[in-house]
Amino acid sequence: MSLRLGDEVPDFKAKTTVGDISFHEFLGDSWGVLFSHPADYTPVCTTELGRTAQLKDEFARRNVKAIALSVDPLDKHEGWINDINETQHTKVEFPIIADEDRKVSGLYDMIHPNASATATVRSLFIIGPDKKLKLSLTYPASTGRNFTEVLRVIDSLQLTALHSVATPADWKNGEDVIVVPSVTTEEALKRFPKGLNIIKPYLRYTPQPES
């Protein structure tokens, strides 16, 4: 199954390091970040899971639940978490799915046979409270993910879901945003009282609206 932006993500039941879950129920009204790992006890993944644990407060502030996945069993996950906590100086508290039968990997198209016939690629999905896919990224096994970028994208998604704006290249939270083309300049002047910076009729900046 190939997921596209705007699709409702598949629900599933799974065993995790914090107990059995039903995915949609686990997400509730929160945003979600689901990300996969080729295998337990791999060096790049160790740093990624550690970094996610270190960013616990940043995810919580954005109402985001993180959940990871590997095709290895629960007992390996639990041993690996001990290593992650030790080497990354953190405490992994978010769930890691034990996808031994590769059911979830199949639902989310995480196994790419030309990369590996058995291991998941390094996929990441950002899911909205409406259970729809907002972003998907796929990294090769050799490249660790940039979680600063993941948080930046979440900031953009949450802001643009509330206001008729888009975020420009390299935008960071607090910087000026772009008024979307569907909003006329006359309407934009009313909607965005902080003012407009009109570069071109189609390129109009405004200070970031309040969330």
Domain assignment present for 154: no
Q: What percentage of the chain has pLDDT greater than the value 90?
A: 81
For residues 116 and 32, the model is more confident at 32
Domain assignment present for 8: no
Q: What is the mean pLDDT of the chain?
A: 92
Q: Give the residue numbers spanning the domain of 191.
A: 163-206
Both 98 and 201 in one domain: the answer is no
Both 129 and 41 in one domain: the answer is yes
User: The domain that contains 180 carries what CATH number?
Assistant: 3.30.1020.10
Domain assignment present for 156: no
Write down the catalytic residue from 27, 33, 34, 45: 45
Number of compact structural domains in the chain = 2
Domain assignment present for 153: no
| pLDDT of the residue at 112 | 58
Both 198 and 113 in one domain: the answer is no
Average pLDDT over residues 96-119: 77
Q: Which region holds residue 41: left if phi is over 0, alpha if psi is between -120 and 50, else beta?
A: left
| pLDDT of the residue at 106 | 87
| Residue 25 near residue 12, CB atoms below 8 Å | no
For residues 142 and 209, the model is more confident at 209
Both 140 and 168 in one domain: the answer is no
Domain assignment present for 20: yes
Both 61 and 94 in one domain: the answer is yes
Domain assignment present for 4: no
The beta-strand segments (E) located in the chain are 13-16, 19-22, 31-36, 64-70, 96-98, 122-127, 133-139, 165-166, 177-179, 197-200, 203-206
Residue found by looking up tokens 């100086």 in the block: 89
| pLDDT of the residue at 93 | 97
Distances (CA, A) of 121 to 108, 117, 149, 156: 11, 10, 19, 25
Task: Provide the whole-model pTM.
Answer: 0.92
- Catalytic annotation present for 45: yes
Both 124 and 30 in one domain: the answer is yes
Average pLDDT over residues 28-33: 98
Of 18-27, 52-61, 112-121, 199-208, the poorest mean pLDDT is in 112-121
Both 97 and 184 in one domain: the answer is no
| pLDDT of the residue at 126 | 98
Percent of residues in the chain assigned helix, strand, coil, to nearest 5: 30, 25, 45
Both 98 and 180 in one domain: the answer is no
Q: How far apart are CA 46 and CA 206, in angstroms?
A: 40
- Give pLDDT tens digits for 125-170: 999 999 999 999 988 878 899 999 999 999 999 999 999 999 999 9
Average pLDDT over residues 183-194: 95
| pLDDT of the residue at 117 | 46
Structure tokens at 47: 């740093």
pLDDT band at 37 (very low <50, low <70, confident <90, very high): confident
- Give pLDDT tens digits for 38-92: 888 999 999 999 999 999 999 999 999 999 999 899 999 999 999 999 999 999 9
| pLDDT of the residue at 120 | 56
Both 109 and 185 in one domain: the answer is no
